[in-house]
Structure 1
Amino acid sequence: MIDVRDFDSLGGANHGWLDTKHHFSFAGYHDESRMHWGALRVWNDDHIAARSGFPPHPHRDMEIITYVRKGAITHKDSLGNEGRTEAGDVQVMSAGTGIQHAEYNMEDGETTLFQIWILPDKDKLGLPPTWGAKPFPKTDRAGQWAILASGREGDGDALPINADARVVGATIKAGETLDYALKGRKGYLVPATGSIEVNGEFVNERDGAAIADLDTITVSALEDSEVVLVETA
């Protein structure tokens, strides 16, 4: 089953400094049919104006993955962590028992990013909070999946999360295909750029594809594309 959710059908709001679209119910947007997808709870498509951002605010028991598409985001939290994550790179914050953080676009131009929230496993609630970031050059994911964040053993140097889930990314040239073995688990896929077909279903740039009950998906690039996929129970 593949349910394609057109970008124009997403919820969201434009606050001036922040123009955001929500793939799932979030803030003032509520849709009973789009509450979550497995353990995937939030997928926000954010455009953040230059020299603006989110002031300090708290989180608890949530795995928050930020995939920067353009520009950079600067993070600062109550643990004393500070870092600047650039386009093509990823940061992960495990909120655990509680953490307060701020995220600002300190650049002179707009920053765009996906922010993805995944519910932690029940036996991993209430762990100490952590934060980490890692550069993942696009050349490392050219024509193949790069595991960006994962709660699975054996997933190499992916950023760790406290959930039975993976966040993967790939760049696929026009006319090329790439398979991913879901093995019956749920998947949610968004092209950051370009347009693709997933098992023959057309998915345009920034659309979402909710996938279930399939062992393998085949992603075919109709133009040069950059895709992000969350796999979850």
Structure 2
Amino acid sequence: MIDIRPFATLGHADHGWLDARHHFSFANYHDPARMGWGSIRVWNDDRIAGKSGFPPHPHRDMEIITYVRTGAITHQDSMGNKGRTAAGDVQVMSAGTGVTHAEYNLEDEQTTLFQIWIETDRPGSRPSWGAMPFPKDARDGSFQLLASGDRDDGALDINADARIMGATLRGGSTLTLEADPARHLYLVASAPVRVNGVAAGARDGIAVTGEARLTIEGDADAELVLVDAR
């Protein structure tokens, strides 16, 4: 099953400094048919104005992944961590027993990012944060693993049975990915693509389950972000 969730139908909140699109129910946006996808609970497509951001606020028992699309985001938290994550790179935070954090766009230009929440498999665990640069050429024409629950795969660690991956699809080319039909995959592309022949527009949500392989085609260059979760 491949379910296309058009960008125009996503939840929307414009706070001036923050223009957010919600793939799933979040804050004041509530749709009983879009409460999540498997263990994926939140996927926000955020535009954050320069010299602005999210002031300190708390979380607990959630795996929070930030994929920066353009610009950069600077993180600071109650554990003493501080770091800047730039376009194409990823940061992860396991909220565990509780953590307070702030995310600011300290740049002069707008930052765009995906904020993804996945239900934790280890409630009550010790909170943690991590970030890592990922070479852009490593994802050209294939998916690069960015974060997962496998401690031995060399990617960022989260406390969930999930994988977060990124790829660059060149216009006129095809990318394939083997999949477990029992799992829930969610894909967002920056340009129109076809997934197993099903057309999706730029920044549409593509919810997949019951498929053993994904064949992704595009006529223009596209940045792909995919989560494979239980």
| TM-score with structure 2 setting the length | 0.98
Which stretches of structure 1, 4 residues or more, deviate above 3 A after TM superposition?
none
2:208 and 2:141 map into 1 onto residues whose CA distance is 21
1:166 aligns with 2:166: no
What SS is found at the alignment partner of 1:34?
coil
> One-letter code of the match for 2:204?
D
2:216 and 2:137 map into 1 onto residues whose CA distance is 18
User: 1:138-177 alignment to 2 at 5 Å?
Assistant: 138-152=136-150, 154=152, 156-177=153-174
Counterpart in the other structure of 1:129: 127
1:229 aligns with 2:226: yes
Identity of aligned residues (%): 60
What SS is found at the alignment partner of 2:96?
coil
8 A Cα contact 2:5 2:206, kept in partner? yes
Superposed CA offset, 1:141-192 (max 9, x none) = 00111000101354x211011000000010011111111111111100001x
8 A Cα contact 1:51 1:106, kept in partner? yes
8 A Cα contact 2:42 2:117, kept in partner? yes
Counterpart in the other structure of 1:46: 46
8 A Cα contact 2:151 2:157, kept in partner? no
1:212 aligns with 2:186: no
Gaps of 5+ in 1: none
1:80 and 1:221 map into 2 onto residues whose CA distance is 43
Counterpart in the other structure of 1:181: 178
Counterpart in the other structure of 2:197: 200
> One-letter code of the match for 1:26?
F
Counterpart in the other structure of 1:34: 34
1:138 and 1:44 map into 2 onto residues whose CA distance is 23
8 A Cα contact 1:197 1:222, kept in partner? no
> One-letter code of the match for 1:15?
H
Counterpart in the other structure of 1:107: 107
Alpha-carbon RMSD across the aligned residues, in angstroms, is 0.8
8 A Cα contact 1:186 1:231, kept in partner? yes
Counterpart in the other structure of 2:25: 25
| TM-score with structure 1 setting the length | 0.97
> One-letter code of the match for 1:169?
G
> One-letter code of the match for 2:132?
K
Please state how far the C-alpha of 1:194 moved relative to its aligned partner.
1.8
Say how many residue pairs are matched. Answer: 229
8 A Cα contact 1:11 1:29, kept in partner? yes
Counterpart in the other structure of 1:71: 71
Please state how far the C-alpha of 1:137 moved relative to its aligned partner.
2.4
Gaps of 5+ in 2: none
> One-letter code of the match for 1:173?
R
